[in-house]
A and B are shown apart, each in its own frame.
Chain A
Amino acid sequence: GAVVSQHPSWVICKSGTSVKIECRSLDFQATTMFWYRQFPKQSLMLMATSNEGSKATYEQGVEKDKFLINHASLTLSTLTVTSAHPEDSSFYICSARVLAGALYEQYFGPGTRLTVT
C-alpha cells in the first residue's frame, strides 16, 4: 500500500512554455500532498503543501504564480511550471501524507526530471 505515482517521469520543454506534472496516490486518499524540488546530489527542498479543495501553501521564496498547484481530488495533485526557464530545470518530487496509527508518514513519488532548453 501507500503507492504514489508521478507523470511524466521526465520531460523536456522549450523556454517560455508551461509544463504540468501529475502526482497520484494509487491505493489511498490523501488530503495533503507535498511538492519538493531537488538539485543534483542535494537534499529535498519543500516548495509547497497541496491541500485538497483549498489553496496551496507555499514556502518562502517560492513563486506561487510560477508554480501553480491544484489539488482537485483526494488522489490527484498537479504542479504546473509556467513560462519555464532553464533555471527551472530540476528533479521535482511529490509526496502524499498518510496517517499510520497516531503518526503521519510521507510516501514519495518516483520524481519527474524537467529539462528546460
Chain B
Amino acid sequence: TQLLEQSPQFLSIQEGENLTVYCNSSSVFSSLQWYRQEPGEGPVLLVTVVTGGEVKKLKRLTFQFGDARKDSSLHITAAQPGDTGLYLCAGALTGGGNKLTFGTGTQLKVEL
C-alpha cells in the first residue's frame, strides 16, 4: 500500500488552463515537500510546508498543507509548457528519522 497517493496520475492540458494536483495520506507528516522532475534529471525542490493549513505561493504555483497535516495540494494557474514534468510530493513522518516518503507522482504535460 502506497503511503502517499497522488491524483491524478497523468494530466494533459492546454496552455493557459488551471490545474490542481492532490497528495493524500492517512498518516500525519511533520513536513511535506513538493518536487518537480524532468526526464533524465533529479527532482528539484519547489516548496516545504510545515504547519497545518499553511499556504505558500511560488509565482503561479500555490501549495496548501491540510489542517491535519495528512494531505496537500498544488494548484497551478495559467499553466505553461515549461510546467511540464513529473510532480512529486514527499512527506517526512513524525518520528521517521527525516526519511522522505514519496508520493506516486503526477505526470503533467502542458501543450501549446
Enumerate chain A interface residues (CB-CB to B < 8 A): 4, 6, 32, 34, 41-46, 49, 91, 93, 95, 97, 100, 103-111, 113
Question: What are 28 A-B residue pairs whose CB atoms fall within 8 Å in the complex?
Answer: A6-B42, A32-B98, A34-B100, A41-B86, A41-B107, A42-B105, A43-B88, A43-B102, A43-B104, A43-B105, A44-B102, A45-B102, A49-B99, A91-B40, A93-B42, A93-B43, A97-B98, A103-B31, A103-B50, A105-B33, A105-B45, A106-B33, A106-B90, A106-B100, A108-B35, A108-B42, A108-B43, A110-B42
- Tell me the minimal C-beta distance from A76 to chain B in angstroms: 17
Interchain CB contact under 8 A, A110 and B43: no
Whether the pair A113, B40 counts as a contact (CB closer than 8 A) is: yes
> Is the contact region of chain B dominated by helix, strand, or loop, or is it mixed?
strand
Q: How far is the CA of A49 from the CA of B104 in the complex (A)?
A: 20
**B18 CB → nearest A CB, Å:** 24
Known: A103-B31, A104-B92. A43 touches B44 (CB 8 A): no
- Distance in angstroms between the alpha carbons of A117 and B88 in the assembled complex: 30
